[in-house]
């Protein structure tokens, strides 16, 4: 049950509608998902998070599809239902196939398993793994 | 402080040494990291995890470097020091640059942030995000 | 789907009803929320948790509203839907405004982000931050 | 780096020393571990947690060794280094063998893995699994 | 909302149906729960996880009921709704009583609490707790 | 073992040194902690996180000390050693007493406990707790 009243696309104050319009343009989409409608209830957060997402998810040394898959890996580990759905949809829009999703989830599962084996056995970090800087 | 006595490469029983040798061959490497030396204290786990890693981390619909980066994303979210070090080293061996690591960590950070915004506001999943199957 | 049969207010054994009555008196309220109705299925837990909550959430060096907000911060980080709802309601009863909730969630989001940046980069704790005791 | 000055056994105020003595008697031990020396810096917490541990970890429908193993399972999942060490030691004192520890960690690892498969695929709970109460 | 189309028992390809049949035989049951129907969408994962579960959950140094309770402890800590339901049902099938479930949850709750006290106070691991190997 | 080479205060490129100088001025401090020296290895992250912290941690509907305590609550729940140390130091600078820290940790502990009781029992959210918007 959402904690605040969502701001609807088309019924927002100009400052908020401008962000909605920018999101739609950037995504070549004609609708706004609930994430932004909720954040619009707190304009400073709306502006900050949209600026952050634009910067961090942009193509760079890592391509946007891989970034979406990293997002899914985190969201599954944290069990964020909203984020699992929204970023799986986003990754599919960027070309993630069903087989890729299944392999992604297999990796996420195994990483969560071996994280606990490493912690449970209190494995010492190998000297060779420690970064060296002169 | 490791919880069990590690089994050293070269001083292992034949059944274990065979796994060590296979790991070294597969990785074109001449040493065994602590993860495997610790698991070797419990041969069923050693065999099972090595078989799992071989299958899940192999090239498939997702390439091995991307799989390593997904592993890092999970390990950072869970704060597994051993796994962060070992998989960052593995990813670098497979071609991850410093800039890629930094972008990866930026995505992991933001995903952890927005996961909590979605949870904290109890955002409802958009109908459009829900998968449909006929 | 709740795991045990809830004990209803007014239909409880005397020992349990006494706790229910104390909760209602303490909260100046005429109803019991599900948290307590569920715990009443295990009287030792009901008694222990109520005694704990009374002690830990009481005014002290930190005021009760701030304590409720700390509770929300933990519950959002852990993604406990029940606790997010119940402690947001409790905090509002104690004076938390909508703007305070939104700022709280912004802080929780950013803390979850920077926690992963610190872990992912394996940042060393500064000497100046380490407490000293003579 | 511990956040408060620990209270040493033998150098504590009478109220605290009484708890220390009770802990030593209950454990048939002649020393106090750091967990209690730290909590002794805040007497209400010391009293509350000791009363809680005495009640919750006592023999009941579940035996004390199994309770210690459950404690380890949680501590490994949360990656609490102190708790992993202290409860592994406690479990060994109560009869946990090395083979039991290794099987425990295997279960904890797999549970963490399948938790993420269930979350990642957003598996719906089977009707048959939902508890029914008349 | 499940992310893939589930494979129904009786309507599966022979390779998958063989696993379903093995699961039903092993469990002396005539139905397949959603966990397996979902994993069947990715046969390598279905085979791997079933082999893993068979091995790890088998009677060994720890009995199957205790293993199910460890599974619940992890699933509750991670808040995996599906896993909490499925493993609570499995544990009840293996003899877990309601009182055992309630004590289990009490231990899980307290372990999660003391994990944070240990972390928050940054408690140093006692020398006596550190395993020694000659 | 830090993953990148830290950028030292006084030896940074002008663009980075400008951020360092702004941090020192804002904090009325003459040194830079490792968090910023590490992020300086990735200037976009340094700029973005500093802008975020400035905005989110500023006085608003919630005062800066309470925001620091919320930060600690999250960091303890996630077990981020660096963040626990740095934000405990920051909170003390802003007036958090030892008694406040101890009460904070007590609340964080109990919240982590009751989060798991709510999840483990799968408690249903009370209708009265669900926000209503007309």
Tens digit of pLDDT for each residue in B20-77? 999 999 999 999 999 999 999 999 999 999 999 999 999 999 999 999 999 999 999 9
Q: Which chain C residues are within 8 Å of F24, Cβ to Cβ?
A: none
Mutate to test the interface with F, among D2, D3, D75 (most CBs of F within 10 A): D3
Closest in E85, E101, E106 to C1, CB measured: E85
Distance of CA A120 to the CA centre of its chain: 29
Q: Residue C113, Cβ neighbours under 10 Å: how many? A: 24
Question: Is the distance from CB of A126 to CB of B86 less than 8 angstroms?
Answer: yes
Distance of CA A98 to the CA centre of its chain: 18
In the numeric block, which tokens belong to residue A93?
A: 């829009």
Mean pLDDT of the region E49-73: 98
Q: What would the pLDDT profile of C65-74 be if each residue is shown by its tens digit? A: 999 999 999 9
Chains linked to E by 3 or more Cβ pairs within 8 Å: A, B, C, D, F
C·E CB contacts under 8 A: 20
Q: What is the residue whose two structure tokens read 């088998």?
A: E58
Question: Is the distance from CB of A54 to CB of B53 less than 8 angstroms?
Answer: no
What's phi and psi for F92, nearest 5 deg?
-65, -40
Which residues have CB under 8 Å from E58's CB, separation 6+?
Answer: E64
Q: Does C78 contact chain F (CB < 8 Å)?
A: yes
CB-CB under 8 Å, A78 with C106: no
> What is the number of alpha carbons within 13 Å of residue E37 lying toward its C-beta?
18
pLDDT at F133: 84
Q: Residue B27, Cβ neighbours under 10 Å: how many? A: 13
Inform me whether the pLDDT recorded for F88 exceeds 90: yes
CB-CB under 8 Å, A122 with D116: no
Give the minimum alpha-carbon distance from C27 to chain D in angstroms, rounded to a whole number: 22
Inform me whether the pLDDT recorded for F24 exceeds 70: yes
Which residues have CB under 8 Å from F16's CB, separation 6+?
Answer: F7, F40, F43, F46
pLDDT at A133: 84
Q: Which chain D residues are within 8 Å of F99, Cβ to Cβ?
A: 42
Closest in B5, B48, B131 to E55, CB measured: B48
CA distances from C103 to A44, B112, C74, C108 (A): 10, 17, 15, 9
Which residues have CB under 8 Å from D14's CB, separation 6+?
Answer: none
Mean pLDDT of the region F20-24: 98
Closest in E5, E48, E130 to B52, CB measured: E48
What's phi and psi for F94, nearest 5 deg?
-95, 5
Mutate to test the interface with E, among F80, F119, F123, F125 (most CBs of E within 10 A): F119
pLDDT at B67: 98
Using DSSP's 3-state secondary structure scheme, residue A61 falls into coil
The C-alpha atoms of residue A58 and residue A63 are separated, in whole angstroms, by 8
Percentage, residues of chain F above pLDDT 90:
97
The C-alpha atoms of residue A34 and residue A81 are separated, in whole angstroms, by 13
Check residue D14 and report its DSSP letter.
H
pLDDT at C16: 98
pLDDT at E133: 84
CA distances from E18 to D118, D123, E10, F20 (A): 22, 22, 10, 63
CB-CB under 8 Å, A131 with F4: yes
Q: Which chain A residues are within 8 Å of D109, Cβ to Cβ?
A: 113-114, 116-117, 120
Question: Is the distance from CB of F99 to CB of C98 less than 8 angstroms?
Answer: no
CB-CB under 8 Å, C84 with B122: yes
Q: Does E76 contact chain F (CB < 8 Å)?
A: yes
Claim: this prediction has a pTM higher than 0.95: yes
Inform me whether the pLDDT recorded for D134 exceeds 70: no
CB-CB under 8 Å, E4 with B131: yes
Give the minimum alpha-carbon distance from E97 to chain B in angstroms, rounded to a whole number: 31
Band of pLDDT at residue C5, cut at 50, 70 and 90: very high
CB-CB under 8 Å, D105 with A121: yes
E strand or H helix that includes residue F66: helix F64-78
User: Which residues of chain D form beta strands (DSSP E)?
Assistant: none
In the numeric block, which tokens belong to residue E21?
A: 């049949």
A·F CB contacts under 8 A: 25
The C-alpha atoms of residue A96 and residue A88 are separated, in whole angstroms, by 8
Band of pLDDT at residue F70, cut at 50, 70 and 90: very high
CB-CB under 8 Å, A38 with B121: yes
CB-CB under 8 Å, D110 with E53: yes
Mean pLDDT of the region D51-67: 98
Band of pLDDT at residue F134, cut at 50, 70 and 90: low
Note every long-range contact of C29-37, with CB atoms under 8 Å and residues 24 or more positions apart, other chains counting.
C31/F128, C33/C86, C33/F126, C33/F128, C33/F129, C34/C2, C34/C6, C34/C82, C34/F123, C34/F124, C34/F125, C34/F126, C35/C82, C35/C86, C35/F114, C35/F117, C35/F118, C35/F123, C37/C6, C37/C7, C37/C8, C37/C9
Inform me whether the pLDDT recorded for B134 exceeds 80: no
Task: Tell me the helix, strand and coil percentages in chain C, rounded to 5.
Answer: 65, 0, 35
CB-CB under 8 Å, D33 with E89: no
The C-alpha atoms of residue D5 and residue F61 are separated, in whole angstroms, by 34
The C-alpha atoms of residue C32 and residue A73 are separated, in whole angstroms, by 39
Question: Is the distance from CB of F112 to CB of E112 less than 8 angstroms?
Answer: yes
The C-alpha atoms of residue B84 and residue A16 are separated, in whole angstroms, by 39
pLDDT at A112: 98
CB-CB under 8 Å, C44 with E98: no
Q: Does C99 contact chain B (CB < 8 Å)?
A: no
Mean pLDDT of the region B14-18: 97
Q: Does E57 contact chain C (CB < 8 Å)?
A: no
The C-alpha atoms of residue D66 and residue C58 are separated, in whole angstroms, by 34
Q: Residue A26, Cβ neighbours under 10 Å: how many? A: 12
Question: Is the distance from CB of F46 to CB of F36 less than 8 angstroms?
Answer: yes
pLDDT at A10: 95
CB-CB under 8 Å, D119 with A84: yes
Inform me whether the pLDDT recorded for F127 exceeds 80: yes
Closest in D79, D99, D101 to B3, CB measured: D101
Closest listed residue to residue A19, CA positions, set A2, A39, A1, A3: A39
């Amino acid at each position: 049950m959402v904690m605040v009243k969502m701001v609807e696309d088309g019924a927002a104050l100009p400052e908020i509608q401008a962000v909605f319009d920018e999101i739609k343009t950037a995504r070549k989409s004609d609708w706004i998902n609930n994430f932004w409608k909720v954040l619009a209830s707190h304009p400073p957060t709306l502006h900050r998070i949209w600026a952050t997402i634009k910067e961090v998810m942009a193509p760079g040394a890592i391509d946007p599809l891989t970034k979406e898959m990293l997002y899914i890996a985190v969201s599954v580990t944290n069990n964020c239902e909203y984020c699992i759905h929204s970023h799986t949809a986003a990754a599919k829009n960027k070309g993630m196939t069903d087989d890729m999703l299944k392999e992604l989830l297999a990796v996420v599962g195994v990483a969560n398993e071996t994280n606990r084996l490493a912690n449970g056995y209190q494995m010492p970090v190998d000297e060779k793994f420690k970064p060296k800087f002169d």
